[in-house]
Amino acid sequence: MGKKSKPPIPTVAAPWTELPDDLTANILQRLHTEEILMSAQKVCSNWWRVCKIPTMWRVIDVDYGRCTNRVQFGNICRCAVDRSEGQLVELKLSGVYVDGLLNYVAQRSSHLRRLTLLEYDTIPYNKEYDTLGFTKEIKDLPQLEELHLYLSHTLDRSTYNGFSMAALDSNHLCFRNAALLIYKGV
């Protein structure tokens, strides 16, 4: 007596692969930037395609703590900025060493309006970079309206008083948990 073979199971696409692009993008945008780039975009070809749409990358939040090392952090940040194709309007970098990254962002994101750096530090701490490089990179963002800095080391307030960008309404500096808000023209 021969074994009965089971009929083949029909392959049916998973329901999330049939969603419209705007709904898929809405769902994916609820994930962290790192999760999208390291895993979600690999789920299926539809998600891969949606993850490459520039409007998906208008707001980017990258946290060094969610990355395995500084190289991965930098690669994720640069990839997300590149995918925005110049449409980036809000960037938040947490727990980072940003030497080079801000220059990269400034060159590719002329429409950036909000920049937040949490636990911002340079590697190694370099006062000359803070007073010259950082100020130059911020001034290279002509549409910047909000600058939020939550610093892990003490900096001289005078470094940041010189910002004179037309669009910058205010910047928020936090020196070791002591908040300081500086308005344009002050």
* DSSP letter for each residue of 53-82: -GGGGSEEEEEGGGSSSHHHHHHHHHHHHH
pLDDT tops 80 at residue 185: no
List the one residue out of 96, 100, 124, 108 whose CA is nearest residue 34.
96
pLDDT attached to residue 176: 44
Spatial distance between the Cα atoms of 115 and 59, rounded to a whole number of angstroms = 10
Spatial distance between the Cα atoms of 129 and 186, rounded to a whole number of angstroms = 24
pLDDT tops 60 at residue 180: no
Q: Residue 8 domain-assigned?
A: no
pLDDT attached to residue 168: 60
pLDDT tops 60 at residue 109: yes
Range of the domain at 62: 57-183
Q: Residue 116 domain-assigned?
A: yes
pLDDT attached to residue 85: 98
pLDDT attached to residue 104: 93
Residue predicted with more confidence, 153 or 38: 38
Q: Residue 27 domain-assigned?
A: no
Helix (H, G, I), strand (E, B) or coil at 90: strand
List the one residue out of 175, 109, 184, 179 whose CA is nearest residue 145.
184
Band the pLDDT of 181: cuts 50, 70, 90.
Answer: very low
The neighbouring-strand residues paired with 92 are: 61, 116
Q: Residue 75 domain-assigned?
A: yes
- Cβ-contact 170, 144 below 8 angstroms: no
Spatial distance between the Cα atoms of 145 and 147, rounded to a whole number of angstroms = 7
Band the pLDDT of 2: cuts 50, 70, 90.
Answer: low
Q: Residue 36 domain-assigned?
A: no
Q: Residue 114 domain-assigned?
A: yes
Q: Residue 179 domain-assigned?
A: yes
pLDDT attached to residue 62: 94
pLDDT tops 90 at residue 130: no
Spatial distance between the Cα atoms of 104 and 84, rounded to a whole number of angstroms = 13
Q: Residue 51 domain-assigned?
A: no
| Total domain count, the chain | 1
Question: In the chain, which ranges are continuous DSSP H helix?
Answer: 21-28, 33-38, 45-50, 70-84, 101-108, 127-128, 134-139, 158-161
Q: What is this structure's pTM?
A: 0.76
For residue range 8-39, list pLDDT tens digits in order: 776 666 777 788 999 999 999 999 999 999 99
